[in-house]
Amino acid sequence: MRKIAFAAFAALAVTGALAGCGEKMSEAGISAERLLGAQADDANWITYGRNYEEQRFSPLDKINTENVGELGLAWSADMDTARGQESTPLVIDGVMYFTTAWSKVKAYNAATGEEIWTYDPEVPGETGVKACCDVVNRGLAAWGDALFLGTLDGRLVKLDRETGKVEWEKVTVDQAKSYTITGAPRVIDGKVLIGSGGAEFGVRGYFGAYDADSGEELWRFYTVPGGDEDENSPEYLRKAAETWSGDVLGSESGIGGGGTVWDAMAYDPELDLLYVGVGNGSPWNRAYRSPGEDGTGEGDNLYLSSIVAVRPETGEYVWHYQTTPGETWDYTATQHIMLADLEIEGEQRKVLMQAPKNGFFYVLDRETGEFISGDPYVTLNWATGIDENGRPIENPETRIDKTGKPAMVTPGALGGHNWHPMAFHPGEGLVYIPAFEAAMMYAPEADWKPDVNRGFNVGFDLAAGDLPPDEGFRREVAGTLRGMLVAWDPVKGEPRWTVEHPGPWNGGLLATAGGLVFQGTAGSEFNAYNAATGDKLWSFPAQTGVVAPPITYTVDGEQYVAVLAGWGGAYALSVDGELMKRKAPVRNVSRMLVFKLGGTSALPEAQDMATAPLDPPPSRASADIIAAGGKSYARYCAVCHAPGAVGSTVLPDLRRSGTLENKAAWLSIVHDGALQDNGMASFKGSLSKEQIDAIREWIIFRANQDKVMSTEQ
């Protein structure tokens, strides 16, 4: 049926008869036909990746290489959430809709910046500790006269597009577990598709389809076995179960296996295939997740770190390709999935492309899942290549679940490319990748046990990579961090050009028919580049790091470019704050920025970044208490407050906390949850008062070390 609908639409497009599609094509609502024709709709941006192929290429060319220097700020709007901003706005018939941190939704006049409505789902603050990578949200889906939102606490919400009023909401996860939703839903034929996150904490991954009218769950696809498969289980899960060992799945440990679907989706309406990216294992360390008889990691562990194709009508499994068999490094395949038709070796191929965390750029046949090519787009050392069967040729020294020994591995857990969307320019034949390099020390933790209440469940000693209070060593490590915009030729399997950035974690991308590529940076710029050469043609001082991807649209024939600015996300929270400052000092100032040719608006004057002095109380605890506190900090605190307690500018730097010298105040926050409404939940279910106070003593110790280091510079 979908093939018939697609063929009918294609015929209408050829004859230019889109306006005759009747009521479904009217401006009142988003229909199947309107989504199928999204690429030709130059006025609007009606779905997350612009079209079902997720190419993020706009046919607009009024802003181009010749006049982009005349681009100016048309309007801006300050947000009320000073956390990471990752949303792709939608623009529908002159109105802009987007999400912000904490799953809030805003609607603005897309030409003037006048606020129309705002919606707050009132996510409980304590949900913040369930989020591995900030309290972000990446966007909305539209269908009919409604918008669909996934909230951080696991609800799917339908909003009236005109008013922002709730029409229904559906809890899609077990809220007693550490599930979260940060990704944007997609809609296919009235089915709202959404997954969730939480593999770092210990959940079982799945994604599902929900009826747009009622919110009823129509089907659910589990990405890893449940441990209780029998002859009545779906065949794809029975086959997956054969690739796991041990008794983790479905066990009392409750760590679930992972494989969450928290971001990437794409759809081919002609083949009627939905493609999703599947995440990492839970725990990361395969030796604990899927141990063999010798206690080391065993098995491919399907469908972790895989691209899976299913029928959107039923959720029926069609094919899969696993990018990292038996993954143990947090090498998710949840990164942007993009579809295109390319000529490869003289043959026109329908392909799927992805640059997942593991550092290889993949080109697959999207009809069959056949491996076509895989080439490194960043430096990597965990594998030397990919064999003819599409399996990585691994470096055994980095297979830490086998060796049981620490190893410095690149890419690290943040990957060579994370969630930030790529863009494709069909005229140039290039995919633009927001890539970076940041290695990680992986050290297996002996006698590791899961804790499903709080904290990371990864099976590694997360303190192993903490940097010592040594200025020279820190400078050396900072020098290894790279951020770059890579213009990748997917046919040749190599970059055509590369732009170096001050550091990692730069924004998602937009390509246009005007010969431009737009990207924000961790260096607080919003830039336009020549799509063919990489030359920087225009830059705007955004006053904050920009990680979200831009869009472009028209209102009354005027072309606009918009991006939601606001520093945050996994890198901003979970990387040593001093390393970030050395590359590009950055803070969060959350704003929507909208540009047009001749725009004359201006931002308020940037404020200086003020930092409280590093003046901790004396360190008097015993070495044993300090060591125990450091171990607990790494597992339970570092994900938000950074390794080594060297905080960034998004969340409090605990070395400077006024509660360090007040044990009672510290316990009231960390044990009793005095600040849970702000996102700082109680940890009393996982840590005793003695353990919590040991964390305080360790932070005091670390702060004193860093104070000495700063005075010696």
- What are the residue numbers of the active site? 330
Cα 306 to Cα 323: distance, rounded to the nearest angstrom:
6
Do the strands 166-171 and 186-188 form a parallel or antiparallel pair, or are they unpaired? unpaired
The three-class DSSP label of residue 65 is coil
Using CA atoms, how far residue 564 sits from 63, 78, 414, 710, in Å, is: 19, 10, 22, 35
Cis peptide before 392 (omega within 30 of 0): no
Q: Residue holding tokens 């945050």?
A: 568
Residue 167 neighbours by CB under 8 Å, 6+ apart: 146, 158, 159, 160
Do the strands 71-78 and 591-597 form a parallel or antiparallel pair, or are they unpaired? antiparallel
What SS3 string covers 295-340? CCECCCCCCCCEEEEECCCCCCEEEEEECCCCCCCCCCCCCCEEEE
Read off the amino acid at residue 567: W
Are 257 and 204 in contact by the 8 Å Cβ rule? The answer is: yes
The string of DSSP codes covering 436-477 is EE--EEE-BPTT----SSSS---SB-TTTTPPPS-HHHHHHH
The string of DSSP codes covering 578-618 is HHHHHH-------EEEEEEET----PPPPPP-------PPP
Cα 420 to Cα 484: distance, rounded to the nearest angstrom:
12
Using CA atoms, how far residue 447 sits from 233, 287, 327, 444, in Å, is: 33, 11, 20, 9
Cα 15 to Cα 31: distance, rounded to the nearest angstrom:
20
> In the structure encoding, which two tokens stand for residue 553, read together?
């649209």
| 27 burial via Cβ count (<10 Å: 0-12, 13-18, 19+) | exposed
> In the structure encoding, which two tokens stand for residue 38, read together?
């999204």
Which one, of 674, 664, 669, lies nearest residue 654 by Cα? Answer: 669
Which one, of 167, 121, 120, lies nearest residue 147 by Cα? Answer: 167
